[in-house]
Structure 1
Amino acid sequence: MAVADRVEGRGVRGGNAPAGERPVLGRFPRPARVAGYLALCAFALLYLLPFLIQLATSFKTDPAAAAHPMSLFSAEPTVEAYRRLFGLSGTAESVPFLRWLGNSAFVTVVVTSGRVAFDSMAGYALARLRFPGRRTLFVFLLAAMSVPPVVLLIPKFLVLKEFGMFDSYGGMITPLLVDAGGVFIMKQFFESVPREIEEAARIDGAGVLRTFWSVVLPMSRPSLITLTVLSFQGSWNEFTHFLVSTQSSRYDTLTTGLAHFVSGGLGGGTQYPLKLAAALLSTLPVAVLFFCFQRYFVRGANADSVKE
C-alpha cells in the first residue's frame, strides 16, 4: 500500500497528474505567482538583514560603527576586530576568544558523541526490549520533555555542588550526555523498522547487541544525523547550564564568554565590531553543519512518513 502511494506521488510530481490535481502554486495565474515569489524574496532579505549588518559592522572601526550602526558599507574597512579575537593585535588588549572556542569545541564534541550513543541505545531499548516498567519509563521521558529547563537550574547547581562537580568539565558535560528529546526521536525511528529484519538477524545467531549495532543502527543513518545536528547545536549554544555549573573564567565557552563581554565584564566602551565579529564566528560552525547535512536532517524528520 505504501509503495503504491509512493508511485502515485511520483506520478503527480512528474506532471502526469490530472488537471484537477496540479500543485497548489500552479493553480494561480502567473502574475499572482510572480508577486508571491517577490514577497517571499522580500521576507528572506528582511530575515537576512541582521546578519548582513553583523557582517558589515565587524569590519568597521569603533567610531564608524557607533556613528552609522545600520550601514552595510564602511569607508575604511578593517580587520582589527578579528585580529584582536585571535590575539594578533599588538595595539589593544586581546579577547580570550580562542580559549572560549576551545572549551566550546571540547564540550560540544564530548556531549554530541555521548548523546548519539546513549540516546540511540535508550531509544532502541524502549522500542524493542520488553522489561518491567517500560511504559512507566516512557511516561517519565515525556514528562521530562515537558519541564522547562529554567526550572531545573537551581536543582542542577545543588546537585553539582553536592557531588563536587561544580566549576569543572565534568559538571559541564555529564548532565548533558543524555537528552529526552533525542531518546524520543530514536525510539520513534526504531519502531518504524520492520521486526522481520531483526528476527532474521536472530535466526542467524545475532544477539540483541549485535542486532542493534550491525543491523538496526546502520539503517538509522538519517535519524542519527538528525540527532547529531540537534545535539551539536544544543550543546554549542547552551548557556543557562554553563552559567550555573561554572564560575571560573577558564571554563568560559563562547556563549558565557560573549555574555560577559557584552555585559562589559571585559572592558569598557561599545566595541560593536569586536562583539559582532565574535558573535559571527560563533554561529558559523552550527550554520555550516546544518547546511552540509540539511537533506539528511529533513529525511530524518520525515522518517515516520514512510511507514506502512
Structure 2
Amino acid sequence: MSTDIRVAAAESEAVQPGRDGTDAATRSIPAGPRGRARVRRRVGTVLAWVALSLLGIVFVYPFVWLVSASFKPRSDVFDNRLIPETFTWDNYIQVWQEAPLALWLLNTAIVTVLAAVTVTISSAMVAWGFAYFRFRGRGVLFGLVLATMMLPGAVTMIPTFLIWNALGQVGMLTPLWAGNLFGSAFYIFLLRQFFLGLPRDLFEAARIDGASQWGVFWRIALPLTGPALAVVLVFEVQAVWTDLMRALIYLRDSSTFTVPRGLKSLVDAYGFGGEWHWEIIVTASVITTIPLIIVFFLAQKRIIDGVASTGLKG
C-alpha cells in the first residue's frame, strides 16, 4: 500500500504544471532555438576536443617513439613498437661512455643562459626606447629595425663569420651568444607592443617623484612586463638549445661542442656511413631533449599569459 501511495505521489508531481504552465516532462525537453543552440555548442565542444586530442597524439607520437627506441637493443630500434619487446638500460649507460655528453650539455647550458639573458635585456632596452621616447624619425628607425627580419640568414652569414674570425673567436663559444647583445628585431617588436599598452601616466608620475630614466625603466617598466619577458626568454632558450647552424660554422673541437653539434657528430660516427649504432643516437636525443621539456613545463603558464597579454595590448 505504501509503495502504491509513493508511486501515485510521484506521478502527480510529474504532471503538476510549473510556474510557466508546463509540466515536468515538457520542461525536460529543450525549448525551440535556444535548445538547438545549446546542443550545437555541446557538439562543437566535443568535436573540438576530439580534434585537439588527435592533433596531440600526432605531435606527441614521435617523442614517445624516440623514448621507446632508447630502451631497445640495436636490432629492435626501428620495429615501431611503442612497448619494447626487449627492454634494456644499457643504452643510457653506453651513451655516456661513447660521447662527452655531460660536457656538451654544460656548453649548451652556458650558451643558452648567456644568449637568453642578453637578448632579453637588450631587446627590452631598445623596445623601451621606441615605446616611451618621442623623437624625430622614430617611425622610420623602427621600420628599419623590422626590415632586418626580412634579411635571410645566409646574407649575413659570411660577413658575420669574417668579423668573428678577425676577432679570433672562431672555435670558441662566444659567437654563439655574443651577437644577442644587440637585441633581436622580433623581440624588440614584441616588447614594444607590450610597453605601449602600459599607462604612460605611471612613468610620468615616477619622473616627477625624482626617478631617473634608467630607474623608470628598471624599477617600474621592466617588472610590469614580466609575462612578455618570460615569452622572450623561453623562445630564445628553445632557439639557442636547438641551434645547429652556428655551431657547425664556429665550433671545431669536440670539447666546445654544444648539444646539436654533438648529436651531429654522433650521427656522422654511428649513423649514415658509420657503424649504425642508432640506439646510441636516439638515447642521446632523449637525454638532450628532456631539459627543454622541463623548461617549457615550468614556464607554460608564463608563456600563455605573456602571449595573451601581448596580443591584447598590441
Partner of 1:73: 83
Partner of 2:199: 194
CA distances 1:249-304 after superposition (whole Å, capped 9, x unpaired): 22210011111211237993222221111112222222221222222212211224
Find the aligned partners of 2:312 and 2:298 in 1 and give their Cα distance: 23
Partner of 1:285: 291
Distance 1:21-1:156 versus aligned 2 partners, 3 A rule: farther
Distance 1:43-1:220 versus aligned 2 partners, 3 A rule: closer
Q: Is 1:226 the equivalent of 2:231? A: yes
Distance 1:164-1:43 versus aligned 2 partners, 3 A rule: same
Distance 1:231-1:36 versus aligned 2 partners, 3 A rule: closer
- Trace 1:142-161 onto structure 2 (pairs within 5 A): 142-161=146-165
Distance 1:298-1:37 versus aligned 2 partners, 3 A rule: closer
Partner of 1:302: 308
Greater gyration radius: 2
- Trace 1:199-210 onto structure 2 (pairs within 5 A): 199-210=204-215
Partner of 2:28: none
Q: Is 1:57 the equivalent of 2:57? A: no
Partner of 1:48: 60
CA distances 1:200-232 after superposition (whole Å, capped 9, x unpaired): 101111110011111111111111111111111
In structure 2, give the amino acid aligned to 1:245: Y
- 8 Å CA contact 2:115, 2:236 repeated in 1: yes
Distance 1:27-1:155 versus aligned 2 partners, 3 A rule: farther
- 8 Å CA contact 2:231, 2:306 repeated in 1: yes
- 8 Å CA contact 1:57, 1:272 repeated in 2: no
Partner of 1:3: none
Partner of 2:25: none
Partner of 2:19: none
Identical pairs, percent? 28
- Trace 1:168-179 onto structure 2 (pairs within 5 A): 168-177=172-181, 178-179=183-184
In structure 1, give the amino acid aligned to 2:63: F
TM-superposed CA distance for 1:103, in Å, is: 0.7
Partner of 2:244: 239
- 8 Å CA contact 1:156, 1:244 repeated in 2: no
Distance 1:294-1:52 versus aligned 2 partners, 3 A rule: same
Q: Is 1:256 the equivalent of 2:261? A: yes
CA distances 1:160-219 after superposition (whole Å, capped 9, x unpaired): 112222111222221233222112211111111111000110111111001111111111
> What SS does the corresponding residue of 2:203 show, helix, strand or coil?
helix
Alignment partner for residue 95 of structure 1, among 89, 95, 99?
99
In structure 2, give the amino acid aligned to 1:282: T
- 8 Å CA contact 1:85, 1:98 repeated in 2: no
Q: Is 1:141 the equivalent of 2:145? A: yes
Partner of 1:163: 167
TM-score normalized by the length of structure 1 = 0.82
TM-score normalized by the length of structure 2 = 0.81
Specify every segment of 5 or more residues in structure 1 that has no aligned partner in the other structure, as ranges.
Answer: 1-18, 88-93
Partner of 1:181: 186
In structure 2, give the amino acid aligned to 1:194: P
Specify every segment of 5 or more residues in structure 2 that has no aligned partner in the other structure, as ranges.
Answer: 1-31
